[in-house]
Structure 1
Amino acid sequence: MINGIANILIAMGTFFWLWGTAPLLGKRSSVFKLHSLSVADTLGSMAIVVGLLLKLSREWPLLLLALISLALWNTVLGYVLAYCATGEEERISDA
């Protein structure tokens, strides 16, 4: 039962990874593309790590550290990429 749930979570994580790359092909703004990619990547990676946590319960300290790192790193990286994607004129007018 737990192995089946773990496999479903890993499959969902892989789906989120692929789903997040689809907006990159669209004609929307680069900030929208980066946001959708970073959200889908974070959710997908966290689902995969939770699936691994169910499969490899002995490794819970390392996988818990991976979950915390993913939540913090991907959030901060998304903000940094969005900031870098905005033009210099927009940053000056906001100040």
Structure 2
Amino acid sequence: MINILSYICIGIGIFFWFWGTFPLMGKRSVLFKLHSLSVADTLGSILIVFGLLLKKPSEWPLLLLAIITLAIWNTMLGYVLAFCSGEGDHNEPQS
């Protein structure tokens, strides 16, 4: 039963990876595309690592660290890329 649940989590994670790439082909703004991709990638990666956690519970410290790192890193990377993709000079004072 655990193997089936593990494969389901991994499969859903891979589905999220592919699902996040479809908005890249649309005609929406870069920020919308980036947000869709980063959310789907983060959820997919966390589900894949969770599926691995179900298969190898003896490795829980490393896999839990991977889940936490994915959540923090992908979130911060999305914010940084969104900030850098904005127009204009961000160092100018606003008047």
Query: How many residues matched?
Result: 94
**Are the structure 2 counterparts of residues 29 and 57 from structure 1 closer, same or farther at C-alpha, using a change threshold of 3 Å?**
same
Report Cα offsets for 1:52-91 as digits up to 9, x if no partner. Answer: 00001111010000000001000000000111111116x4
Look up the equivalent residue of 2:33 and give its one-letter code. Answer: K
CA RMSD of aligned residues (A): 1.5
TM-score by length of 1: 0.93
Structure 1 runs of 4+ off > 2 angstroms? 91-95
2:48 maps to which residue?
48
Q: Which residues of 2 match residues 1-95 of structure 1 at below 5 A?
A: 1-88=1-88, 91=90, 95=94
Give unmatched runs, 5+ long, in structure 2.
Answer: none
TM superposition score normalised by structure 2: 0.93
For structure 1, the 5+ residue unaligned runs are none
In structure 2, the CA distance between the partners of 1:52 and 1:25, relative to structure 1 (3 Å rule), is: same
